[in-house]
């Protein structure tokens, strides 16, 4: 496995592969890898000749400086996991390598897709995501890019950015990998106390309840979200950032619960913010 720390090393290796006619799959991550990340790698290996993973905690996408400083790191463990998973190249730049001139004076925004969900409660987050992902896309020139559907709004925003800017890249959404109790795997889960982790299982149980309500004919989003919020708030440890039902393509709020919808939530357990979503089809 090749480990690159600079853009130059990376470009040299990639142009060699391109000359050999190899296709490249890319999974951008912020490290502290878990099985969810590994599933992106596995999909890439199934589709592309070469698989690249980036490990970079991107400062421009954190609206909360404390969240950035506390983001878990395990470079040694991550490199081991990448090697075991058969990754061909890992890119581990510092923030000085990615942003040599400091934070760039460039703002990318997709107002409609960013209007709801995390776009509303995490100002500047997706601007930072689009900036770093487009930089990485230019540097790596991948044929395929893999994003987890756990971060559904991120997936849609990147998919749309690639479409608007004509990046010659196929964006592939990878289903969410979950713990035994259904909690979505996340690098942030490690920050939960034992009690918070126990209470976190309310999240997957809330999605089960949501499915039952929809099957039972619930059409009113306000009533639906209130029942789900009450369920989550049965634990005093849970604080709700948002519970929303949106159209899977436009991410606009559903005014009535019919057709396809994505139910997405963000909650705080103590200081840790977790997000999750589930897609439902309702006839
Ligand atoms: P992160 O390191 O949290 O920025 O995540 C890197 C990529 O892994 C993103 O595309 C995430 O959506 C994806 N990812 C994170 N958690 C999971 C999961 N539980 N299952 C599948 N993909 C995931």
Q: Read off the pLDDT of residues 30-63 as tens digits, 9 standing for 90 and up.
A: 999 999 999 999 999 999 999 999 999 999 999 8
Instruction: Let me know if 37 is a catalytic residue.
Output: yes
Is 149 annotated as a binding-site member? yes
> Do 119 and 130 contact (CB within 8 A), yes or no?
no
Segments of the chain with pLDDT less than 70 = 282-283
Indicate which residue's Cα is closest to atom 11 of ligand 1. Answer: 148
Is 148 annotated as a binding-site member? yes
With the most atoms of ligand 1 within 8 angstroms of its CB, the residue from 39, 52, 122, 150 to mutate is 150
pLDDT tens profile 1-30:
999 999 999 999 999 999 999 999 999 999
Long-range contacts of residues 117-125, Cβ cutoff 8 Å, at least 24 apart: 117/153, 117/242, 117/244, 117/246, 117/251, 117/264, 117/266, 118/153, 118/154, 118/266, 118/275, 119/153, 120/242, 121/241, 121/242, 121/266, 122/63, 123/63, 124/60, 124/61, 124/63, 125/61, 125/62, 125/63
> Do 268 and 239 contact (CB within 8 A), yes or no?
yes
Tokens coding 125 = 């987050």
Residue 23 pLDDT: 98
With the most atoms of ligand 1 within 8 angstroms of its CB, the residue from 92, 122, 148, 159 to mutate is 148
Q: Strand 2-4 and strand 89-91: pairing?
A: parallel
Residue 138 pLDDT: 97
Residues forming CATH 3.30.1300.10 domain(s) in the chain: 187-282
Residue 38 pLDDT: 98
Q: Is the CB of 156 under 6 A from ligand 1?
A: no
Q: Is the CB of 37 under 6 A from ligand 1?
A: yes
Residue 283 pLDDT: 60
Residue 49 pLDDT: 98
Is 225 annotated as a binding-site member? no
Residue range 187-282 forms a domain whose CATH class is alpha beta
Q: Is the CB of 176 under 6 A from ligand 1?
A: yes
CATH for the stretch 2-174: 3.40.50.620
Distance (angstroms) between ligand 1 centre and the Cα of 179 equals: 14
CA dihedral defined by 138, 141, 144, 149, rounded to 10 degrees?
Answer: -20
Residue 116 pLDDT: 98
């Amino acid at each position: 496995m090749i480990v690159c720390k600079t853009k130059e090393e990376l470009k040299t290796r990639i142009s060699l592969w391109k000359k050999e006619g190899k296709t490249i799959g890319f999974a951008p991550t912020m490290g502290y890898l878990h099985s969810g990340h590994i599933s992106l790698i596995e999909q890439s290996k199934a589709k592309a000749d070469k698989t690249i993973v980036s490990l970079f905690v991107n400062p421009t996408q954190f609206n909360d400086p404390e969240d950035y400083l506390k983001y878990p790191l395990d470079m040694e463990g991550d490199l081991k996991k990448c090697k075991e998973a058969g990754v061909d190249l890992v890119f581990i730049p510092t923030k000085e390598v990615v942003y040599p001139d400091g934070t760039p004076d460039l703002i990318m925004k997709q107002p409609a897709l960013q209007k709801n969900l995390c776009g509303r409660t995490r100002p500047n987050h997706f601007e930072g995501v689009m900036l770093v992902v487009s930089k990485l896309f230019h540097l790596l020139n991948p044929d395929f890019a893999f994003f987890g559907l756990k971060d559904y709004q991120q997936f849609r925003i990147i998919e749309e950015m690639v479409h608007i800017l004509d990046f010659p890249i196929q964006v592939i959404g990878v289903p969410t990998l979950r713990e035994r109790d259904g909690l979505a795997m996340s690098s942030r889960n490690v920050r939960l106390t034992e009690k918070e982790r126990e209470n976190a299982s309310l999240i997957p149980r809330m999605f089960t309840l949501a499915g039952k309500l929809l099957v039972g004919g619930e059409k009113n989003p306000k009533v639906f979200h209130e029942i789900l919020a009450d369920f989550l708030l049965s634990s005093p440890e849970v604080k709700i950032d948002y519970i929303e039902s949106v159209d899977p393509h436009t991410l606009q709020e559903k005014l009535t619960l019919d057709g396809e919808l994505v139910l997405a939530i963000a909650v705080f357990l103590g200081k840790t913010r977790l997000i999750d979503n589930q897609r439902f089809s309702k006839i």
